[in-house]
Amino acid sequence: MRVRELAVGGALEFTPEIFPDERGRFLSPFQQPAFAEARGHPLFPVEQISYSVSRRGVVRGVHYTATPAGCAKYVFCSRGQVLDAVVDLRVGSPTFGSWDTVVLDEEECRALYLPVGVGHLFVALQDHATMHYTLSRSYEPSRERAVSPLDRDLALPLDDREAMVLSERDRAAPTLAEARERGLLPDYAVCREQDVRLAAAAGARR
Just list the catalytic residues: 63, 133
122: β partners: 60, 84
What are the Cα distances from residue 1, in Å, to 88, 107, 132?
A: 25, 15, 18
Whether 61 contacts 73, CB under 8 Å: no
d(C-alpha 66, C-alpha 143), whole Å: 5
CA–CA separation, 174 vs 84, rounded Å?
Answer: 20
Residues 6+ apart with CB under 8 A from 122: 59, 60, 61, 82, 83, 84, 85, 104, 129, 131
Residue 160's CB is within 10 A of a number of other CB atoms, namely: 8
Rounded Cα distance between 30 and 150, Å, is 31
Asked if omega into 62 is within 30° of 0 (cis), the reply is: yes
Q: Can you say how many angstroms the Cα of residue 10 is from the centroid of all Cα atoms in its chain?
A: 12
